[in-house]
């Protein structure tokens, strides 16, 4: 039986990226914080375009992550099946064995059922979108689904506020919602706040500051009023993938993504003995977000949809003149003292969250087949 146990709520320190993530990857998840060699990683020079700065996180070390499959990969290959909760009572495993689906009184907005029919553990990250069913949904929390697990009641949030009808089976969307929406799912855990973030584009307080007070900065390209117009015409059901497309909004999302990708490839193509394992993201002068992975290969599998998510957030924020420095990015990765929550499924994974004021960091540790930190996330909260 699938079980997730709440292990602890306590106040303590948590390691920085240098002393925590690298320790987990290089020396194993059980290594005490602060024991890692900080020379094993560094921040690369920022890649800048418009109001977005991307700082590559570089490492000479990497974990072997080939044993894991991402949600998009598993959905595309058929290794994972996602259904509405309360839908069909039976599904088939990969070897054609019948699998019973947990029963409920009917389809639920905030819960789906996931079956891992494959031979590899599946990584789920908060904010990943699955498309289809009665409404498009996003994953609520980072976790790992092991091989042979019972059908998993999966907590999700809706990002399509309007459609509730018979739809196709759930498919890989190859999309990650942008940071303002992802924050509401991963940290606030409230459906109403997820919807508000989808409709407004961003929950950053800098939007209000940039729209008045005599500041010379132009308003955000992807404004709430522009999104409202897109909802009325191109995406009346507020389907995320349609709402945030260039065609729906008239905002150059696609060309922005292409330009940042081109600059990022150029900046990281000549690395020697180092590879990109993650990024730190800044909007104007605010360092706001980071996603770091256990290996370059795992980072590359998530990078295309992560980049698009960062760009949407950039377009939803005003184009202020300030830019974050490399020192700002390094300080963002510094150690925290705060309240830590730990959840665990024995022998599968551990999930850690630490909160300190406006900052939250989340770490997903695999316990099998290897003890490694698969994903490390830090957020400068927009709503606090």
Digit-coded pLDDT (tens) for 211-248: 443 444 577 999 888 888 888 787 766 688 888 988 88
Model confidence band, residue 57 (pLDDT cutoffs 50, 70, 90): very high
Give CA–CA dist 52/22, Å, rounded.
Answer: 26
Indicate the burial class of 213 (C-beta count within 10 angstroms; 0-12, 13-18, 19 or more).
exposed
Q: Per the structure block, which two tokens stand in for 262? A: 């081109």
Percent of the chain with pLDDT over 90: 57
* Helix-then-strand count for the chain, H and E: 11, 21
Q: How confident is the model at residue 98 (pLDDT cuts 50, 70, 90)?
A: low
Residue 235's CB is within 10 A of a number of other CB atoms, namely 21
Closest CA to 122 of 173, 77, 72, 71: 71
Q: Residue 321 has what pLDDT?
A: 81
Query: How remote is the C-alpha of 162 from its chain's centroid?
Result: 24
307 assigned to some structural domain: yes
Report whether pLDDT(206) > 70. no
pLDDT mean over 355-382: 94
Residue 248 lies in a domain: no
Residue 154 lies in a domain: no
Boundaries of domain holding 347: 5-65+254-380
Residue 312 domain-assigned (yes or no) = yes
Q: Is 173 exposed, middle or buried (0-12, 13-18, 19+ CB in 10 A)?
A: buried
Is a pLDDT exceeding 70 seen at residue 101? no
Q: Is the pLDDT of residue 33 over 80?
A: no
Per-residue exposure over 27-56, b if at least 16 CB sit within 10 Å of its own CB, e if not: bebebeeeebeeebbebbebbbbbbbbbbb
pLDDT attached to residue 26: 30
pLDDT of residue 298: 97
The answer to whether residue 277 is domain-embedded is: yes
When the pLDDT of each residue in the chain is averaged and rounded to a whole number, the result is 82
The alpha-helical segments, DSSP class H, found in 317-358 are 326-332
254-267 pLDDT, tens digit each:
999 999 999 999 99
- Phi first, then psi, for residue 147 (nearest 5°) are -65, 135
CB–CB of 92/98 below 8 Å? yes
- Unique residue bearing structure tokens 């064995």: 97
Task: Look at the chain and report how many structural domains it folds into.
Answer: 1
What's the pLDDT at 87? 53
Say if 142 falls within a structural domain: no
Across 32-36, 286-290, 333-337, 348-352, least confident range? 32-36
pLDDT digits (tens, 9 = 90+) for 285-343: 999 999 999 999 999 999 999 999 999 999 999 887 899 999 999 999 888 889 999 99
Q: Higher-confidence residue: 292 or 101?
A: 292
Q: Tell me if 349 is assigned to some domain.
A: yes
Q: Does residue 295 form part of some domain? A: yes
Above 70 in pLDDT, residue 135?
yes
The pLDDT, as a whole number, for residue 27 is 26
Highest mean pLDDT among 12-26, 57-71, 202-216: 57-71
What is the spatial distance between Cα 172 and Cα 75, in angstroms, rounded to a whole number? 6
Amino acid 355: pLDDT? 96
């Amino acid at each position: 039986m699938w079980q997730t146990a709440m292990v602890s709520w306590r106040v303590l320190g948590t390691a920085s990226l240098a002393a925590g993530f690298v320790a987990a990857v290089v020396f194993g998840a059980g290594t005490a914080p602060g024991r890692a060699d900080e020379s094993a990683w560094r921040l690369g020079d920022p890649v800048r375009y418009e109001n977005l700065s991307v700082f590559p996180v570089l490492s000479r070390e990497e974990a072997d992550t080939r044993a894991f499959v991402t949600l998009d990969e598993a959905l595309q290959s058929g290794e994972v099946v996602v259904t509405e909760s309360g839908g069909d009572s039976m599904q088939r495993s990969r070897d054609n064995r019948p699998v019973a689906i947990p029963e409920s009184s009917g389809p639920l907005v905030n819960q789906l059922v996931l079956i891992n029919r494959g031979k590899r553990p599946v990584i789920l990250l908060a904010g990943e979108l699955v498309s289809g069913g009665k409404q498009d949904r996003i994953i609520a929390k980072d976790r790992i689904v092991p091989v042979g697990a019972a059908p998993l009641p999966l907590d999700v949030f809706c990002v399509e506020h309007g459609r509730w009808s018979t739809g196709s089976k759930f498919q890989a969307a190859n999309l990650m919602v942008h940071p303002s929406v992802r924050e509401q799912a991963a940290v606030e855990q409230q459906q109403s706040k997820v919807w508000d973030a989808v409709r407004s584009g961003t929950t950053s307080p800098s939007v209000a500051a940039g729209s008045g007070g005599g500041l010379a900065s132009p308003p955000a390209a992807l404004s709430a009023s522009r999104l409202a117009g897109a909802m009325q015409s191109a995406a009346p059901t507020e389907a995320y993938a349609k709402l945030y497309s260039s065609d729906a909004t008239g905002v150059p999302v696609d060309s922005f993504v292409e330009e940042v990708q081109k600059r990022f490839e150029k900046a990281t193509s000549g690395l020697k003995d180092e590879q990109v394992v993650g990024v730190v993201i800044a909007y104007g002068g605010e360092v706001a977000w980071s996603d770091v992975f256990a290996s370059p290969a795992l980072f590359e599998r998530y990078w295309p949809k992560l980049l698009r998510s960062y760009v949407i957030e950039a377009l939803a924020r005003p184009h202020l003149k300030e830019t974050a420095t490399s020192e700002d990015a390094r300080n963002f990765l510094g150690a925290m003292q705060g309240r830590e929550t730990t959840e665990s499924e024995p022998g599968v994974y551990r999930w850690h969250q630490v909160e300190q004021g406006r900052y939250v960091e989340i770490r997903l540790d695999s316990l099998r087949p290897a003890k490694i930190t698969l994903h490390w996330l830090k957020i400068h909260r927009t709503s606090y």
